[in-house]
Amino acid sequence: MRKGLLIFIVLASISTFGGCRAKPTVADVADQSTPTNRPMRIVTDDLGRQVAVPVKIARVVSLAPNLTENIFAVGAGARLVGVTTFCNYPEQAKEIPKIGDTMTPNMESIIALKPDVVFVSTASQIEAFMKTLEANGIAVYVTNPTSLDGVMKNLKELGELMGTHEQANQLVADLTARINAVYQRVSGEKKIHVFVQISKEPLFTIGKQSFLTALLEQAGGESVTANVDSAYPKLSKETASALNPETLILSDSEDNKEPNEVFKNSSAVKNGHVILLNADQLSRPGPRLVNVLEYVARQLHMGKFEWKRGLDPSGNSAF
């Protein structure tokens, strides 16, 4: 596949070139705003790596939009000094300096901001630069919540790390209460069969390994593609056509606002049971996922419980 090879070569060159920096000298390291007498501790990130971080973390960079939301959620938003171009929630995140996108963050900008910790959602994102960052006294912490439970754990973790345990724990307690409330309402109801469309053309959906599959279950639904391998499989239109889901879930991004042609005769389309969700919320495992849970549960079992305004940390409910 020459095209694939070419794309790989171009991207690899970009990343390697981006990573070529002069090795910092001893003088540089001594210059760091993190003086060596600052108390440090060793923590373990989600990948099991031992990371040395200051006890009092003052400046952080987030390389994933959901991590940005989580950091704000635990009350440490003011300490964010750099975020990605995709980080647009909460409002304050928009003011924070941008250091590139999730796939190709700008190393120079990150180093210039002199953060204590960089939060990353996958190790692969930043493998090439770990050495450089560490040489500059910047810790790299990998964390990647991929389920509601994972989000709770992550919020607690962040609270721990950033020293805002009280606020974090309170948030987790509230969110858990909301999750339980939903559970109370929908357990015992017949599960609604749902097809979640990730992209209209080509047709992508959620599979076994997607956190949305589990989320749907908790909302009183069942993904009709729950047993398809991989997180976001490209689905055969023939199979999709035969599925006949009761409800369709779409998102509000350009390429996903309409159901795929194959569903035109499904009971979901015929009965107008089409749910449109905010694309950001659907793809970011963070506290807003609970909003999604509540909304979906409500839509699926319409009229079965009243909408209660959720305790969203920014005081703002998406729906």
- Binding residues (CB under 8 A) for another protein: these are 1-4, 6-7, 10-11, 104, 199, 201-204, 225, 228-230, 233-239, 241-242, 244, 253-256, 261-262, 265, 279
Alpha-carbon span 78 to 72, nearest angstrom: 8
| Contacts for 139 with CB less than 8 Å, ≥ 6 apart | 51, 52, 53, 116, 117, 118, 133
What is the nearest approach in angstroms of another protein to the Cβ of residue 255? 5
User: C-beta of 67: minimal distance to another protein in Å?
Assistant: 16
Minimum CB distance to another protein smaller for 61 or for 250 = 250
Asked if 319 and 309 touch (Cβ cutoff 8 Å), the reply is no
167 versus 283: smaller Cβ distance to another protein: 283
User: What is the rounded CA–CA span in Å between residue 267 and residue 248?
Assistant: 9
Q: Which is nearer to another protein, 34 or 223 (CB)?
A: 223
- The Cα 283–Cα 271 span in angstroms is 27
Task: Using the minimum distance from each CB to another protein, give the nearer residue, 1 or 302.
Answer: 1
Nearer to another protein, 203 or 296 (CB): 203
Q: Is 182 helix (H, G, I), strand (E, B) or coil?
A: helix
DSSP state of 223: E
Long-range contacts of 141-145 (CB under 8 A, 24+ apart): 141/43, 141/45, 141/51, 141/53, 141/117, 142/45, 142/46, 142/47, 142/49, 143/45, 143/46, 143/67, 143/119, 144/46, 145/66, 145/70, 145/285, 145/286
Shortest distance in whole angstroms from residue 236 CB to another protein = 4
Q: How far is the CB of 7 from another protein (least distance, A)?
A: 5
Q: How far is the CB of 199 from another protein (least distance, A)?
A: 6
Closest approach of Cβ 189 to another protein, in Å? Answer: 27
Q: Between 101 and 149, name the residue whose CB sits nearer to another protein.
A: 101
Quick check: 114 and 59 in contact, CB under 8 A? yes
